[in-house]
Protein backbone atom coordinates (compact mmCIF):
# COMPACT_ATOMS: atom_id res chain seq x y z
CA UNK A 1 0.00 0.00 0.00
CA UNK A 2 2.80 2.43 0.90
CA UNK A 3 4.40 2.00 -2.53
CA UNK A 4 1.09 2.82 -4.23
CA UNK A 5 0.62 6.14 -2.42
CA UNK A 6 2.90 8.19 -4.73
CA UNK A 7 1.07 6.82 -7.77
CA UNK A 8 -2.27 7.59 -6.15
CA UNK A 9 -1.12 11.13 -5.39
CA UNK A 10 -0.01 11.67 -8.98
CA UNK A 11 -3.31 10.34 -10.26
CA UNK A 12 -5.23 12.73 -8.01
CA UNK A 13 -3.07 15.66 -9.08
CA UNK A 14 -3.50 14.79 -12.74
CA UNK A 15 -7.24 14.91 -12.24
CA UNK A 16 -6.94 18.47 -10.93
CA UNK A 17 -5.07 19.76 -13.99
CA UNK A 18 -7.12 21.54 -16.63
CA UNK A 19 -6.85 22.35 -20.32
CA UNK A 20 -7.88 25.77 -21.61
CA UNK A 21 -8.39 25.58 -25.38
CA UNK A 22 -6.81 28.17 -27.61
CA UNK A 23 -8.84 31.16 -28.73
CA UNK A 24 -10.71 29.85 -31.80
CA UNK A 25 -10.21 33.20 -33.56
CA UNK A 26 -6.67 34.25 -32.61
CA UNK A 27 -5.50 37.77 -33.35
CA UNK A 28 -3.03 38.14 -36.20
CA UNK A 29 0.62 38.58 -35.21
CA UNK A 30 1.98 42.08 -35.73
CA UNK A 31 5.16 43.01 -37.53
CA UNK A 32 7.69 44.37 -35.08
CA UNK A 33 9.04 47.86 -35.83
CA UNK A 34 12.46 47.96 -37.46
CA UNK A 35 13.91 49.63 -34.37
CA UNK A 36 12.90 46.63 -32.27
CA UNK A 37 14.33 44.00 -34.60
CA UNK A 38 17.54 46.05 -34.87
CA UNK A 39 18.02 45.72 -31.11
CA UNK A 40 18.27 41.98 -31.62
CA UNK A 41 20.78 41.97 -34.46
CA UNK A 42 23.41 39.26 -34.10
CA UNK A 43 26.12 37.36 -35.92
CA UNK A 44 27.13 33.77 -35.19
CA UNK A 45 30.27 32.04 -36.43
CA UNK A 46 28.77 28.60 -37.01
CA UNK A 47 31.85 27.44 -38.93
CA UNK A 48 33.92 27.76 -35.74
CA UNK A 49 31.78 25.35 -33.70
CA UNK A 50 33.55 22.18 -32.67
CA UNK A 51 31.79 19.46 -30.71
CA UNK A 52 33.30 17.47 -27.86
CA UNK A 53 31.76 14.08 -27.30
CA UNK A 54 30.88 13.83 -23.59
CA UNK A 55 29.15 10.46 -23.23
CA UNK A 56 26.54 8.15 -24.72
CA UNK A 57 24.17 5.36 -23.82
CA UNK A 58 21.67 3.22 -25.73
CA UNK A 59 19.36 6.20 -26.33
CA UNK A 60 21.51 9.26 -26.94
CA UNK A 61 24.97 10.54 -27.77
CA UNK A 62 25.76 13.83 -26.02
CA UNK A 63 28.20 16.52 -27.15
CA UNK A 64 29.17 19.91 -25.74
CA UNK A 65 29.95 22.91 -27.89
CA UNK A 66 30.72 26.62 -28.00
CA UNK A 67 29.28 29.02 -30.57
CA UNK A 68 30.95 32.45 -31.03
CA UNK A 69 28.23 35.13 -31.07
CA UNK A 70 28.24 38.91 -31.35
CA UNK A 71 25.42 41.35 -30.63
CA UNK A 72 25.47 45.16 -30.85
CA UNK A 73 27.37 46.72 -27.98
CA UNK A 74 24.99 48.33 -25.51
CA UNK A 75 25.00 52.07 -24.95
CA UNK A 76 25.22 51.13 -21.26
CA UNK A 77 27.64 48.16 -21.28
CA UNK A 78 28.07 48.14 -17.53
CA UNK A 79 30.78 46.16 -15.81
CA UNK A 80 31.26 43.00 -13.88
CA UNK A 81 32.01 42.00 -10.35
CA UNK A 82 35.38 43.05 -8.94
CA UNK A 83 36.21 45.47 -11.75
CA UNK A 84 35.65 43.01 -14.61
CA UNK A 85 35.76 44.64 -18.08
CA UNK A 86 32.52 45.99 -19.57
CA UNK A 87 30.41 43.80 -21.81
CA UNK A 88 31.47 44.36 -25.44
CA UNK A 89 28.72 42.20 -26.97
CA UNK A 90 30.98 39.29 -27.98
CA UNK A 91 30.73 35.95 -26.21
CA UNK A 92 30.67 32.17 -26.65
CA UNK A 93 27.29 30.47 -26.32
CA UNK A 94 27.60 27.18 -24.42
CA UNK A 95 25.34 24.34 -25.49
CA UNK A 96 24.84 20.59 -25.46
CA UNK A 97 23.75 18.57 -28.46
CA UNK A 98 21.77 15.44 -27.66
CA UNK A 99 21.73 13.23 -30.75
CA UNK A 100 18.79 10.88 -30.58
CA UNK A 101 19.61 7.31 -31.60
CA UNK A 102 15.94 6.63 -32.35
CA UNK A 103 15.54 9.64 -34.66
CA UNK A 104 15.03 9.30 -38.42
CA UNK A 105 17.82 10.17 -40.85
CA UNK A 106 16.75 13.83 -40.84
CA UNK A 107 14.95 14.62 -37.62
CA UNK A 108 13.17 17.59 -36.04
CA UNK A 109 15.00 19.54 -33.35
CA UNK A 110 13.99 20.94 -29.96
CA UNK A 111 15.87 24.01 -28.71
CA UNK A 112 15.68 24.00 -24.89
CA UNK A 113 16.38 26.87 -22.50
CA UNK A 114 16.45 25.70 -18.86
CA UNK A 115 15.06 27.22 -15.68
CA UNK A 116 16.98 29.63 -13.47
CA UNK A 117 17.72 27.25 -10.59
CA UNK A 118 18.40 23.51 -10.77
CA UNK A 119 18.25 23.81 -14.52
CA UNK A 120 20.80 21.18 -15.49
CA UNK A 121 19.06 18.19 -13.94
CA UNK A 122 15.55 19.11 -15.06
CA UNK A 123 16.67 20.18 -18.52
CA UNK A 124 18.49 16.90 -19.07
CA UNK A 125 15.37 14.98 -18.08
CA UNK A 126 13.59 16.94 -20.81
CA UNK A 127 16.40 16.14 -23.23
CA UNK A 128 15.93 12.42 -22.66
CA UNK A 129 12.17 12.66 -23.14
CA UNK A 130 12.43 14.58 -26.40
CA UNK A 131 15.25 12.38 -27.71
CA UNK A 132 13.25 9.24 -26.96
CA UNK A 133 10.40 10.77 -28.97
CA UNK A 134 12.65 11.05 -32.04
CA UNK A 135 13.82 14.66 -31.70
CA UNK A 136 17.41 15.80 -31.66
CA UNK A 137 17.92 18.31 -28.84
CA UNK A 138 20.04 21.45 -28.55
CA UNK A 139 20.26 22.57 -24.92
CA UNK A 140 21.28 26.23 -24.64
CA UNK A 141 22.94 27.16 -21.36
CA UNK A 142 22.69 30.61 -19.78
CA UNK A 143 26.42 31.49 -20.12
CA UNK A 144 26.24 33.66 -17.00
CA UNK A 145 24.70 33.64 -13.55
CA UNK A 146 21.55 35.67 -14.12
CA UNK A 147 20.39 38.58 -11.93
CA UNK A 148 23.45 38.91 -9.76
CA UNK A 149 23.18 41.46 -6.97
CA UNK A 150 25.80 43.68 -8.60
CA UNK A 151 23.93 43.89 -11.93
CA UNK A 152 23.02 47.47 -12.77
CA UNK A 153 19.54 48.53 -13.81
CA UNK A 154 20.29 48.13 -17.55
CA UNK A 155 21.71 44.61 -17.19
CA UNK A 156 18.40 42.79 -17.76
CA UNK A 157 18.10 44.32 -21.22
CA UNK A 158 21.71 43.49 -22.15
CA UNK A 159 21.24 39.93 -20.94
CA UNK A 160 18.01 39.40 -22.92
CA UNK A 161 19.57 40.61 -26.16
CA UNK A 162 22.54 38.28 -25.70
CA UNK A 163 20.27 35.35 -24.79
CA UNK A 164 18.23 35.84 -27.96
CA UNK A 165 21.35 36.26 -30.11
CA UNK A 166 22.78 33.01 -28.74
CA UNK A 167 19.64 31.04 -29.51
CA UNK A 168 19.18 32.49 -32.97
CA UNK A 169 22.82 31.62 -33.61
CA UNK A 170 22.09 28.05 -32.56
CA UNK A 171 19.19 27.96 -35.03
CA UNK A 172 21.74 29.04 -37.67
CA UNK A 173 23.99 26.16 -36.60
CA UNK A 174 21.11 23.68 -36.75
CA UNK A 175 20.66 24.57 -40.44
CA UNK A 176 24.21 23.30 -41.13
CA UNK A 177 23.71 19.83 -39.63
CA UNK A 178 22.76 17.13 -42.15
CA UNK A 179 21.00 14.99 -39.53
CA UNK A 180 18.83 17.91 -38.35
CA UNK A 181 15.76 19.12 -40.22
CA UNK A 182 16.15 22.89 -40.24
CA UNK A 183 12.55 23.24 -41.40
CA UNK A 184 11.26 21.52 -38.26
CA UNK A 185 12.77 23.37 -35.31
CA UNK A 186 10.73 23.98 -32.14
CA UNK A 187 11.55 25.57 -28.79
CA UNK A 188 10.89 24.73 -25.16
CA UNK A 189 11.59 26.69 -21.98
CA UNK A 190 10.52 26.69 -18.35
CA UNK A 191 10.49 29.62 -15.92
CA UNK A 192 13.32 31.95 -16.97
CA UNK A 193 13.79 29.67 -19.99
CA UNK A 194 10.13 30.14 -20.88
CA UNK A 195 10.49 33.91 -20.65
CA UNK A 196 13.41 33.80 -23.10
CA UNK A 197 11.53 31.40 -25.37
CA UNK A 198 8.50 33.70 -25.54
CA UNK A 199 10.69 36.55 -26.80
CA UNK A 200 12.56 34.24 -29.17
CA UNK A 201 9.30 33.15 -30.81
CA UNK A 202 8.52 36.75 -31.71
CA UNK A 203 11.88 37.27 -33.39
CA UNK A 204 12.86 33.93 -34.96
CA UNK A 205 10.52 32.90 -37.82
CA UNK A 206 12.31 29.57 -38.32
CA UNK A 207 10.76 28.22 -35.13
CA UNK A 208 7.66 26.25 -36.03
CA UNK A 209 6.31 25.92 -32.47
CA UNK A 210 7.11 26.85 -28.91
CA UNK A 211 6.17 25.70 -25.42
CA UNK A 212 6.61 27.83 -22.31
CA UNK A 213 6.04 26.62 -18.77
CA UNK A 214 5.87 28.79 -15.64
CA UNK A 215 6.71 31.92 -17.65
CA UNK A 216 5.31 35.41 -17.25
CA UNK A 217 5.38 38.96 -18.52
CA UNK A 218 6.08 42.35 -16.95
CA UNK A 219 9.43 41.34 -15.48
CA UNK A 220 9.72 44.34 -13.12
CA UNK A 221 6.56 43.37 -11.25
CA UNK A 222 7.79 39.76 -11.05
CA UNK A 223 11.08 40.94 -9.59
CA UNK A 224 9.31 43.08 -7.01
CA UNK A 225 7.28 40.23 -5.49
CA UNK A 226 9.03 36.97 -6.39
CA UNK A 227 9.89 34.56 -3.57
CA UNK A 228 12.90 33.20 -5.49
CA UNK A 229 15.99 34.12 -3.50
CA UNK A 230 18.15 35.36 -6.35
CA UNK A 231 15.42 37.62 -7.71
CA UNK A 232 14.64 38.96 -4.25
CA UNK A 233 18.31 39.76 -3.59
CA UNK A 234 18.67 41.53 -6.93
CA UNK A 235 15.58 43.62 -6.22
CA UNK A 236 16.69 44.49 -2.69
CA UNK A 237 20.07 45.62 -4.04
CA UNK A 238 18.42 47.87 -6.64
CA UNK A 239 16.12 49.39 -3.99
CA UNK A 240 19.16 50.21 -1.87
CA UNK A 241 21.18 51.46 -4.83
CA UNK A 242 18.50 53.80 -6.17
CA UNK A 243 16.82 54.83 -2.93
CA UNK A 244 13.46 54.43 -4.66
CA UNK A 245 10.31 52.79 -3.38
CA UNK A 246 9.05 49.55 -4.98
CA UNK A 247 6.53 51.23 -7.30
CA UNK A 248 9.00 53.84 -8.53
CA UNK A 249 11.67 51.18 -9.06
CA UNK A 250 9.24 49.07 -11.08
CA UNK A 251 8.59 52.06 -13.33
CA UNK A 252 12.32 52.73 -13.71
CA UNK A 253 13.04 49.07 -14.51
CA UNK A 254 10.28 49.02 -17.16
CA UNK A 255 11.87 52.00 -18.85
CA UNK A 256 15.24 50.23 -18.90
CA UNK A 257 13.83 46.92 -20.19
CA UNK A 258 12.09 47.53 -23.53
CA UNK A 259 12.43 43.86 -24.49
CA UNK A 260 9.99 42.58 -21.89
CA UNK A 261 8.04 39.55 -23.16
CA UNK A 262 4.84 41.63 -23.19
CA UNK A 263 6.42 43.99 -25.73
CA UNK A 264 7.39 41.18 -28.12
CA UNK A 265 4.40 38.85 -27.63
CA UNK A 266 2.12 40.56 -30.20
CA UNK A 267 4.53 39.39 -32.93
CA UNK A 268 3.96 35.71 -32.04
CA UNK A 269 1.48 33.54 -33.94
CA UNK A 270 -0.71 32.23 -31.11
CA UNK A 271 -1.42 29.00 -32.99
CA UNK A 272 2.15 27.79 -32.66
CA UNK A 273 2.28 28.27 -28.87
CA UNK A 274 1.33 26.19 -25.86
CA UNK A 275 1.68 27.47 -22.30
CA UNK A 276 1.74 25.72 -18.93
CA UNK A 277 0.58 27.88 -16.00
CA UNK A 278 0.66 27.24 -12.25
CA UNK A 279 -2.02 28.51 -9.90
CA UNK A 280 -0.07 28.60 -6.63
CA UNK A 281 3.15 30.11 -7.95
CA UNK A 282 5.01 32.62 -5.77
CA UNK A 283 8.10 32.77 -8.01
CA UNK A 284 6.30 33.86 -11.19
CA UNK A 285 2.81 34.82 -9.96
CA UNK A 286 -0.19 33.53 -11.89
CA UNK A 287 -1.19 37.13 -12.63
CA UNK A 288 2.04 37.59 -14.60
CA UNK A 289 1.65 34.25 -16.34
CA UNK A 290 -1.81 35.27 -17.50
CA UNK A 291 -0.53 38.66 -18.66
CA UNK A 292 1.83 36.81 -21.01
CA UNK A 293 -0.84 34.32 -22.08
CA UNK A 294 -3.20 37.14 -23.07
CA UNK A 295 -0.43 39.08 -24.83
CA UNK A 296 0.41 35.94 -26.84
CA UNK A 297 -3.18 35.77 -28.08
CA UNK A 298 -4.62 33.25 -25.59
CA UNK A 299 -2.94 30.12 -26.98
CA UNK A 300 -3.61 26.57 -25.81
CA UNK A 301 -2.91 26.39 -22.08
CA UNK A 302 -2.49 23.61 -19.53
CA UNK A 303 -3.14 24.83 -15.99
CA UNK A 304 -1.73 23.07 -12.92
CA UNK A 305 -2.99 23.58 -9.32
CA UNK A 306 0.53 23.71 -7.89
CA UNK A 307 3.42 26.07 -7.20
CA UNK A 308 6.54 26.82 -9.20
CA UNK A 309 8.69 23.98 -7.87
CA UNK A 310 5.95 21.44 -7.19
CA UNK A 311 5.13 21.55 -10.90
CA UNK A 312 7.85 18.90 -11.19
CA UNK A 313 5.16 16.41 -10.16
CA UNK A 314 3.68 16.92 -13.62
CA UNK A 315 6.96 16.88 -15.55
CA UNK A 316 6.34 13.66 -17.48
CA UNK A 317 2.77 14.61 -18.31
CA UNK A 318 3.77 18.09 -19.42
CA UNK A 319 6.48 16.74 -21.72
CA UNK A 320 4.08 14.22 -23.27
CA UNK A 321 1.51 16.92 -24.02
CA UNK A 322 4.17 19.23 -25.44
CA UNK A 323 5.51 16.48 -27.72
CA UNK A 324 1.97 15.82 -28.92
CA UNK A 325 1.54 19.54 -29.64
CA UNK A 326 4.86 19.71 -31.53
CA UNK A 327 3.98 16.72 -33.67
CA UNK A 328 0.64 18.25 -34.57
CA UNK A 329 2.22 21.55 -35.53
CA UNK A 330 5.01 19.96 -37.56
CA UNK A 331 2.57 17.70 -39.39
CA UNK A 332 0.09 20.42 -40.30
CA UNK A 333 2.05 23.68 -40.47
CA UNK A 334 -1.06 25.81 -41.18
CA UNK A 335 -0.72 28.92 -43.28
CA UNK A 336 0.31 31.82 -41.08
CA UNK A 337 -2.11 34.73 -40.84
CA UNK A 338 -0.99 37.95 -42.50
CA UNK A 339 1.10 40.24 -40.35
CA UNK A 340 -0.61 43.32 -38.97
CA UNK A 341 1.44 46.49 -38.88
CA UNK A 342 2.45 47.63 -35.40
CA UNK A 343 1.18 51.09 -34.57
Q: Looking at residue 95, what is its pLDDT?
A: 98
Q: Which of 190, 163, 196 is nearest to 89 (CA)?
A: 163
Q: 148: exposed, middle or buried (C-beta count within 10 Å: 0-12, 13-18, 19+)?
A: middle
Question: Which residues of the chain fall short of a pLDDT of 50?
Answer: 1-12, 77, 79-85, 334-339, 341-343
Rounded Cα gap, residues 156 and 257, in angstroms:
7
Domains and CATH numbers, the chain: 42-331 (3.40.50.1820)
Q: Looking at residue 174, what is its pLDDT?
A: 99
Q: Looking at residue 333, what is its pLDDT?
A: 62
Q: Looking at residue 203, what is its pLDDT?
A: 99
Q: Which residues contact 121 (CB under 8 A, 6 or more apart)?
A: none
Neighbours of 42 (CB within 10 A): 19
For 271-329, how does the pLDDT look when each residue is reduced to its tens digit (9 = 90+)? 999 999 999 999 999 999 999 999 999 999 999 999 999 999 999 999 999 999 999 99
Rounded Cα gap, residues 280 and 265, in angstroms:
24
Q: Looking at residue 73, what is its pLDDT?
A: 82
Cross-strand pairs, 174: none
Q: Is the pTM of this model over 0.85?
A: yes
What is the Cβ-side half-sphere exposure of residue 317, based on CA atoms within 13 angstroms?
17
Q: Looking at residue 221, what is its pLDDT?
A: 98
Amino acid sequence: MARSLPLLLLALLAGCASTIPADPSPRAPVELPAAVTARFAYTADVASVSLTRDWEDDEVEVFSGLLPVSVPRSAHPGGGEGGAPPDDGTFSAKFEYWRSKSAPAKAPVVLITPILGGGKTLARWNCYDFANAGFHVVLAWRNTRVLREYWDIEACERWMRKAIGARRGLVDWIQTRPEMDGERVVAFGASMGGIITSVLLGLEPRLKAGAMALAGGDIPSILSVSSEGRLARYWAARLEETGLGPTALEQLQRGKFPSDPLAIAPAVDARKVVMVTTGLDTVVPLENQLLLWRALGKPLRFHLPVGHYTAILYLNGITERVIEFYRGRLAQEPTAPPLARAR
